[in-house]
Each structure stands twice: as C-alpha cells, then as structure tokens.
Amino acid sequence: MSPEANKTVVRAYIEMWNTGNVAPAAMVLGPTYVDHAHPEVSGLPSFVQALQQLRSTFPDFHITIDTMIAEDQWVAVRATIRRTQQGELRVSRVIRIGALTICPSTRLLGDWWSPEGQAIVEQTLTYLRQRGVERIYLAVLSSGGMGASRLAHRFEYDLAGLILISGADPDAPLTKLPVLVVQGKDDERILARVVERYVAAVGPTSTYLLVEGDHFVLLKEADQVQGAIADWVMEQEAHSAK
C-alpha cells in the first residue's frame, strides 16, 4: 500500500475509537490482529469488546490527530487524547518535549529477545538513523516490557534509554542503560513485587515510579505517567548534553 493509503487506514482505526462504530473493523484490521500494547486483545471480537469497554468507561473519549507522517510502510502519529473520568475533563498529552514515535511490533508473546524481535528492533534503529535521529528511547508496555528488558543489553550503544511500563523481567540480563520503570501498585497481571526485583537488580541506573492503579495505568493515569516520562526523558537529555 502507498503511504497515503496507510494513513487512511490509521485514520479509520482512530475514528473507530472516537465514535465507537466498529463496522469498519473487518476492513481496517486483519483477522490475526493483535494489540501489542495489550496482547490479550487478539482478534476482531476481542478488539470490539475492548473498544466498547473503553467507551463505556470514557463515553467522550476522543483522539485528535496533531501530526501524521507516512513513509514506506511506516506511519507515525502525534495525537491528543481527551476523556472525562469521574466528571473531570482530563487531557493527556506530553507537550514539553518534541519527539517522533515509531511503533514496531512483534508477536503476541512480546518476545523481543527472539531473533525475529531483535531483527525488528535493528530494522527500526536503521530506519531512524537513516533519517538523522540520533537519540532513541525504547518504550514498551506489558509483555513487551518483559521482552524488551531481556533484549536491552544487546543495544546499549544504540539506545539512549529504556522505558518499561507495566512489565519487566527480573531475570533479564543486566543493562547499563538508564531505565524508567512505571508500575501499577495493584497490577494483577504483572505483580509490582516482580517488577521491583528487576529495579533492584538494575540498581542506580533505574528510576522507579509506583502508581496507584492496575495494569492499565498508562491509560487510566495518563497525565501522571506521561508527565513522568517527559520529565525523565528531559533529565536524560540534559545529562547527555553536559
């Protein structure tokens, strides 16, 4: 597909979340669709259920596309998410730093340490380097955090840092990279005490944020989590500039 056709698909995908209309799902998503941010959302029926649950919790949930860039098979989006929770309008957006977000994905297991996962990371790094991007942070969620924590030591000279949200493997090889770990206190999928073993093993190069919430703190506590990520990235950038 052309870059413009890819952008049309992304817009249609976002519009489903904005309206709750899942009629285009079969045309927009393939039958083997997996949400790699939430691997438990796998297949069209699971996607429809997840979308309906979100809009039930946030009836006015809306994603506004600020910028969309497409090249080859890649589409990068910067967006603003607005939703009302408990009567309070909450706007989720990191506005203090400028960054390009690229979202590669691997298999359902989030096995970034596998040859396939490592190859995807290498391809993404090459793609960014060819376009002049020099400072790259790898940010991952849930089972992706488990996988990326195992992979990170192989890319210590390629990455500026690692951001793990709701998942880290305490038995992963140690990395010298600066690491931000964000974890929900009441996460029932990947327990906080498991993630805290990883933080203790990494030691002084890790920053740990324990948030009141469950596995989905990135969505439910978006302002706090995104603010923490922005502050941490700016701190790393300031340190590298010295």
pTM (predicted TM-score):
0.66
Q: Cα separation of 209 and 232, whole Å?
A: 11
Which amino acid appears at position 111 of this protein?
A: D
Q: Cα separation of 223 and 131, whole Å?
A: 30
Per-residue burial over 74-90, b = 16 or more CB atoms within 10 Å of its CB, e = otherwise: ebebeeebebeeeeeee
Domain 3-92, CATH:
3.10.450.50
Instruction: Please check the confidence at residue 95 and state whether its pLDDT lies above 80.
Output: no
Q: Residues of CATH 3.10.450.50 domain(s) within the chain?
A: 3-92
Alpha helices by DSSP H, the chain: 3-19, 25-28, 44-57, 115-130, 143-151, 192-202, 217-220, 222-241
Q: Over the stretch 16-71, which tens digit does the pLDDT of each residue have?
A: 999 999 998 888 888 778 776 666 778 889 889 888 888 887 888 888 888 888 87
**CATH class, range 115-241:** alpha beta
Q: Residues of CATH 3.40.50.1820 domain(s) within the chain?
A: 115-241
